[in-house]
Amino acid sequence: MSDWETITLDHENGVATLTVDRPDRLNALNVDTLEALDEALDEAEAEGAGALVLTGAGDDAFVAGADISYMQDLSTPEAQAYAELGHRVADKIEQFPAPAIAAINGYAFGGGCELALACDLRVASEDAVIGQTEIDLGIIPGWGGSQRLPRLVGDEIARRLIFFGERIDAQDAHEHGLVGEVVAGDQIDDHVAELAADLAAKPTYALAAAKEALNQAHETSQEAGLRYERRLWSGLFGTHDQREGMQAFLEDRAPDFE
Ligand code: COA
């Protein structure tokens, strides 16, 4: 079991919960925290997590962004290394072989918003505030926001959010399609835990294949994506869960997935 100062990883019933635990800095991501997150994602995958939850410690923040005190004096090569580390973590979440849910329990700015964008689903507490705020620091989103945000909310809204650096509340984020759901602050942990447990109980390979196919929808031409879907779909035949799921349906009973 690894020993990280600012990341905790809990496993329960097939769900891995990763918590950024730096509340005195509103969970801002310095290099150590990002590196720990990178390792923790590998560990969650090695443990065979059937769903991943990403959240922030304390009542105020999901993640208030990249660490501004660290960034202030970076040279271009240092900034490039920091961007690459942030991208590696976001890509790892996006390619994690099980669905990832961001439980946005407070401020999600800059890099915090970008980590949430890399997740499959986003649930926000009603007092969450979200934004790609980098412009007012004299920079732009550097951990994937300029690419993932327009794919999620559309080009016009993404341009508005990034150009103005606007900080929007959970309700507006929901209207823009930036979060899928808004729940009361005292219910977000339980609600997300329930969603994650439901996902972890689904057929593992089918869920991983569904995520891979959906990810391809943003990456490739429709023709290539359709070809890929056919391959993923047929590859599931012969798995325990395919045989069991179909047999259970035909016998009118609940399936017993692996
Ligand atoms: N990087 C480094 N430190 C940060 C931080 C960040 N992204 N966000 C917050 N902090 C630190 C603050 O400097 C402060 O430290 P201090 O106690 O030593 O002064 C501490 O966390 C608490 O933040 P504070 O600003 O005092 O809390 P607040 O409730 O008044 O405001 C925010 C909260 C989130 C609105 C405000 O901190 C903020 O705007 N943060 C920056 C958000 C941002 O632009 N992120 C994108 C970075 S790419």
Q: What is the mean pLDDT of residues 87-106?
A: 98
Residues 191-222: tens digit of each pLDDT: 999 999 999 999 999 999 999 999 999 889 99
| Mean pLDDT, the chain, integer | 97
Which residue in the list 114, 156, 194, 251 is annotated as catalytic?
A: 114
The whole-number pLDDT of residue 166 equals 97
Q: Does the active-site annotation cover 175?
A: no
The whole-number pLDDT of residue 210 equals 98
Three-state SS sequence of 17-50: EEEECCHHHCCCECHHHHHHHHHHHHHHHHCCCC
Distance 63 CA to ligand 1 centre (A): 10
Looking at the chain, the whole-number percentage of residues with pLDDT higher than 90 is: 97
* Ligand 1 mutation pick, 63, 68, 72, max ligand atoms within 8 A of CB: 68
Residues 152-183: tens digit of each pLDDT: 999 999 999 999 999 999 999 999 999 999 99
Is the CB–ligand 1 distance for residue 134 below 6 Å?
yes
pLDDT tier for residue 2 given thresholds of 50, 70 and 90 = confident
Identity of residue 190: D
pTM: 0.96
Whether the predicted pLDDT of 1 surpasses 70: no
Closest CA to 124 of 181, 177, 61: 181
How far, rounded to the nearest angstrom, does the alpha carbon of residue 40 sit from its chain's CA centroid?
A: 14
Is the CB–ligand 1 distance for residue 111 below 6 Å?
yes
Contacts from 161-165 at CB under 8 Å and sequence distance 24+?
Answer: 161/131, 161/132, 162/132, 162/134, 162/135, 163/135, 164/135, 165/131, 165/132, 165/133, 165/134, 165/135, 165/136
